[in-house]
Amino acid sequence: MIAQAAVRKYPNPFSTSVTGVDIVHREVDQNGVLNTHKLLTTDWNLPDIATKLLGLGHHGHVSEHSSVDPKTGTYTLKSRNVSTHPKTGTNTLKSRNVSTHPKTGTNTLKSRNLTFSNVILIEEKLVYSPHPHDKNKTVLHQEANVTINSHIPWLTGKIEKWVTDSMANNAGKGRQGMEWVIEKIQVESRDLNNAFKSMDSFLSGTATSTPL
């Protein structure tokens, strides 16, 4: 269920920093693996003064590649942020990797921005794992490390606070978004199951009442 929710996480009403999602390509390969390439539009959510001082744009684009292997239960996601520097035209790259352990059911996400790392380095790790005592619950462990490279001490502290506050806020929204998507999937599953039951009842009734 977590892997399904991760694939369908965007859009959701809580993660408003992701402002657009486009599916560039999707296919099931010869091994039955579902491969998807998405382009996400995101918002930095930093104050104007921070983006101006750092030379960052307000919006960025993330090229996201994911694969779901139904045989091993593995879910893998990799993404690269291709936001363009407003002055130099330099692309911002962000790598993101998600994997689901086929035996333990542990889902791990690691991300790190590549370009602009000389200014802002953000390393993030999320681990989704089954609750040790309740199979109906999932435990999420999330950690992040933010490093700001600036020759102005007071600016470094300000930007670190802006970034960490934004990440903390988005982390909570991300969890809400996942819960929203999971509930949506569960409702769809129930509706589909009810539709099949209704169809079976209708066909059974029709077959019984049909004269020989």
* Dihedral angle of Cα 68, 69, 75, 78, to the nearest 10 degrees: -60
Give the pLDDT band of residue 203 (cuts 50, 70, 90): confident
Distance CA 10, CA 64 (A): 12
Q: Is the pLDDT of residue 202 over 50?
A: yes
Up-side HSE of residue 104: CA atoms within 13 Å toward CB? Answer: 12
Position with higher pLDDT, 90 vs 147: 147
Averaged pLDDT, 66-85: 60
The whole-angstrom separation of Cα 56 and Cα 52 is 6
Over residues 161-174, the pLDDT tens digits come to 877 787 777 778 87
List, for residues 87-142, the tens digit of each pLDDT value: 554 444 444 554 545 555 555 545 544 445 456 666 666 666 667 888 777 777 67
Average pLDDT of the chain is: 71
pLDDT in tens, 37-70: 888 787 766 677 766 766 666 676 667 777 776 6
Could you tell me the residue ranges of all domains in the chain?
Answer: 2-205
pLDDT in tens, 24-39: 888 888 888 788 788 8
Per the structure block, which two tokens stand in for 38? Answer: 């998405």
Helix (H) or strand (E) holding 193: helix 153-209
pTM here? 0.61
pLDDT score for 143:
73
